[in-house]
Amino acid sequence: MTTPRQDYYQTLSQANLAPLWVSLSNLVPSHPTPKAVPALWKYKEVRPYVMQAGELITAEEAVRRVLVLENPGLPGKSSISSTLYAGLQLILPGEIAPSHRHTQSALRFVMEGKGAWTAVNGERTTMSPGDFIITPSWRWHDHGNPRAEEGGEPVVWLDGLDIPLLVHLDAGFAENLDQASQPIERPEGFSYAQFGHNMAPLRYTPTDATSPIFSYPYERTREALDQLSRFEVIDEWDGVKLRYINPNTGGFAMPTMATFMQFFPAGFKGRTYRSTDSAVFTVVEGRGTAYIDDAVFPFSPKDIFIAPSWAAIRFEMDEDVVLFSYSDRPVQQALNLFREFRE
Ligand code: 1HN
């Protein structure tokens, strides 16, 4: 026996109609209810799988040899949160990852190994652990690694992209370059010399929403945190937290993803906060514990964890800790949706 209402709902669905009153409270929840859950990837456990990929497929065949960090609350979606993608990419000595471009913006955060390069917009940058590197939307990019005889070693980096956001927006376009590596037009370090020192070329007019500095070396970031940790009061929630900026605007380095680096002294016991941006963290230095809603994540260097929107987050640090993170905050702020609450 079906009730008249059930019959009615059935009829509606055949006419591509739905009664709002059934879903209203889910559609406008009193606070964010992300499908993504807090999750932790221990680098020690994931690394063997990454290296195994290196034995089973070449970078050329794979195009990008990456293991996607998939949120257990979003199975099959290649998403670490509703808006963000994360993956671990491996490039072995002598390999090339061919040039392409897409509307998705990408960031690389170097996890281990050095000497591989990424080329963006006619310029190469050589990677070292802790470097934050940007591939802006619709810019040609390819990666490579010197042969072992020339000192090449396996290099692994964390890829952060705005893929799920662009899926929601149906704004994805991509194309391959007709050659594996793009032509190099400027010497390495050119962009950094132009924009990396609180100066800019006299007649330069910005053409892009993304920072013209496409590689932010760890050495400089670490030095800033080190000096500030001595001179500045340590924030009770964030420790010493800096955001990477686009020197043209003072805004975030990328239009869709914010990037941050923060320092906490050993023994730090932080207070709890929530924010509407979902954030991917990776541990650059030190050991500690992240408490994210009901999850307890003890972490070591290179571990990766995700805090979904509005999760309650706090940190306790056993050692001096440095965390890199990225989030969808620029999108939320541009749309006037960003909120945070510090308990
Ligand atoms: C991409 O272009 C890269 O260029 C890495 O290294 C990961 C994931 C999805 C789509 C494009 C890269 C990617 C990607």
Exposed/middle/buried for 109, CB within 10 Å: 0-12, 13-18, 19+?
buried
Look at residue 213 and tell me whether its pLDDT is greater than 90.
Answer: yes
pLDDT of residue 30: 96
Look at residue 303 and tell me whether its pLDDT is greater than 80.
Answer: yes
pLDDT of residue 1: 81
Whether the CB of 160 sits within 6 Å of ligand 1: no
What is the CA 283 to chain-centroid distance, rounded?
13
Give me the mean pLDDT over the 50-57 stretch. 98
pLDDT digits (tens, 9 = 90+) for 119-155: 999 999 999 999 999 999 999 999 999 999 999 999 9
pLDDT of residue 327: 98
CA of 129 to the centre of ligand 1 (A): 19
Ligand 1 atom at minimum distance from 108 CA: 6
Domain 33-342 has CATH 2.60.120.10: yes
Q: Which of 50, 60, 63, 64 has most ligand 1 atoms within 8 Å of CB, for mutation?
A: 64
Whether the CB of 159 sits within 6 Å of ligand 1: yes
CA of 137 to the centre of ligand 1 (A): 11
Report residue 207's pLDDT band, with 50, 70 and 90 as the boundaries.
confident
Give me the mean pLDDT over the 20-30 stretch. 95
For the chain, give every domain's residue range: 33-342
CA of 257 to the centre of ligand 1 (A): 15
Whether the CB of 225 sits within 6 Å of ligand 1: no
Residue whose token pair is 């956001």: 165
Phi, psi for 163 (deg, rounded to 5): -50, -55
Q: Token pair for residue 253?
A: 């380095």
pLDDT digits (tens, 9 = 90+) for 93-102: 999 999 999 9
pLDDT digits (tens, 9 = 90+) for 255-284: 999 999 999 999 999 999 999 999 999 999
pLDDT digits (tens, 9 = 90+) for 63-75: 999 999 999 999 9
pLDDT of residue 312: 98
Amino acid identity of residue 154, one-letter, is P
Atom 14 of ligand 1, residue of closest alpha carbon: 64
Adjacency order of strands within the sheet including 304-307: 39-41, 304-307, 279-285, 321-327, 258-264, 240-243
Whether the CB of 89 sits within 6 Å of ligand 1: yes
Look at residue 232 and tell me whether its pLDDT is greater than 80.
Answer: no
CA of 311 to the centre of ligand 1 (A): 28
**Stronger pLDDT, 1 or 99, i.e. the higher one:** 99
What is the CA 120 to chain-centroid distance, rounded?
18
